[in-house]
Structure 1
Amino acid sequence: MHSDEIKAIFDQQAASYDERWARTAPIREALHFILEAVFAELPTDARVLCVGAGTGEEIAYLAKRFPGWSFTAVEPSGAMLDVCRDKAAKGGFASRCHFHEGYLESLPDQRDFDGATCFLVSQFILDQATRADFFRTIAARLRSGAILASSDLAADVGSAQYDALLKPWLTMMATAGISAADVDQMRAAYAKDVAILPPVQVASIIQSAGFDEPVPVYQAGLIHAWFANRE
């Protein structure tokens, strides 16, 4: 699936996106809780880059807990970014946010971010060299020692363990209110439109892009998360 196709899908889903995934909130909330601890050492006036910010859930969480921080939300879907912007306005932290509609390459040159988030984004980049370049572009925006927090769907898809895990994962999606048709579409997408790689391989890609060895910090089903310092 090309980037324009992915953008179109998120444009269509934006208005109902948060509601659609509301019942999977425990997974997201646990990740944010750990993210808060990972980022706790950042400066009181930290500048945080959020790549593929979506509707801005991690920004909303961090903005409430770190009132001196500012955020740059990078999101190619204008409709998703509109939801993110509205959420920031209602939450009273819009003045601390910069909203960039587009990809990281088109963001005006800034190279001193203290931290970055990239949640469930790089998995859509099927070519591994391009995926490494994506993380390299993030690294180029960070100061030395800055922290990247990243998550993606990850597994060894050729293993029996993956087959065993996929069943309860998709059952959970159905329990969360995702329609049977959408669950079937999800299963098909995992096979051809999402680069689900073994966790160690995803970590290696991140490290090759200019980061210290990523530290696994979280897993919920197929979702794995790491943090890593900019070299």
Structure 2
Amino acid sequence: MLDIGRQKAEENGITSRCTFHEGYLDSLPASDPFDAATCLLVSQFLKKAEERSHFFGQIAQRLRPGGVLISSDLVLGMSPPVHQSLFEVWLRMLGGSGWSEEDIEKVRAAWRLHIAALTPPEIEAIIAAGGFNTPVLFFQTLFIHAWFSKRTATN
């Protein structure tokens, strides 16, 4: 993804305005605050709320006051029977698009073992606790929700 992002920046002549970094937030060198950050389908792998809040706090520390965060996560937001029904439909769709039964079972196991899917209000509260204004939901499809939020002036 980083290579594709760099290629797109080059194609659009904006490479000089970009900083590309492969690694974790704590390995990002000190710099002037950024105007924006993206966190796409990452934080659901942090299973404890305090870890997630700290993660968003690290992002907030890298942004100027008012800097924008675009974040998406896998969510729970429906009753368990509805969620399970949609999950099974999604897995069947993966099978119909050529995924092997073994790979589909890996997805099922990953949801159980590695993903902390929370409800949208829980995720919004965690982002806000990390130093952002109340997140605004701007996209949703099946299990993916995306928000934008601005870094608070006091963080």
Q: Is the 8 A contact 1:156 1:196 kept in 2?
A: no
**AA matched with 2:140:** Q
Structure 1 runs not aligned, ≥5 long: 1-54, 56-80
Aligned residues: 152
Q: TM-score, normalised by structure 2?
A: 0.85
Name the structure 1 match of 2:67.
Answer: 146
SS in 1 for 2:20: strand
Matched, 1:108 2:29: yes
1:21-55 Cα deviation digits (max 9, x unpaired) = xxxxxxxxxxxxxxxxxxxxxxxxxxxxxxxxxx1
Q: Which residue of the other structure, out of 36, 51, 56, is the alignment partner of 1:130? A: 51
Name the structure 2 match of 1:194.
Answer: 115
Q: Is the 8 A contact 1:157 1:163 kept in 2?
A: no
Higher relative contact order (CA 8 A, sep 6+): 2
RMSD of Structure 2 on Structure 1 (CA): 2.2
Q: Distance in 2 between matches of 1:175 and 1:92?
A: 40
Q: Which residue of the other structure, out of 163, 168, 175, is the alignment partner of 2:84? A: 163
Q: Distance in 2 between matches of 1:136 and 1:170?
A: 34
How much has 1:99 moved relative to structure 2? 2.1
Q: Distance in 2 between matches of 1:132 and 1:145?
A: 18
Q: Which residue of the other structure, out of 203, 218, 221, is the alignment partner of 2:142? A: 221
SS in 2 for 1:183: helix
Q: Which residue of the other structure, out of 35, 38, 42, is the alignment partner of 1:121? A: 42
Q: Distance in 1 between matches of 2:46 and 2:78?
A: 16
Structure 2 runs not aligned, ≥5 long: none
Q: Which residue of the other structure, out of 196, 199, 206, is the alignment partner of 2:127? A: 206
Q: Is the 8 A contact 1:211 1:230 kept in 2?
A: yes
Closer, same or farther: CA 129–91 of 1 in aligned 2, 3 Å: same
Name the structure 1 match of 2:99.
Answer: 178
How much has 1:179 moved relative to structure 2? 2.4
Q: Distance in 1 between matches of 2:75 and 2:32?
A: 29
Q: TM-score, normalised by structure 1?
A: 0.59
Closer, same or farther: CA 196–129 of 1 in aligned 2, 3 Å: same
**AA matched with 1:222:** F
How much has 1:146 moved relative to structure 2? 1.5
How much has 1:152 moved relative to structure 2? 0.6
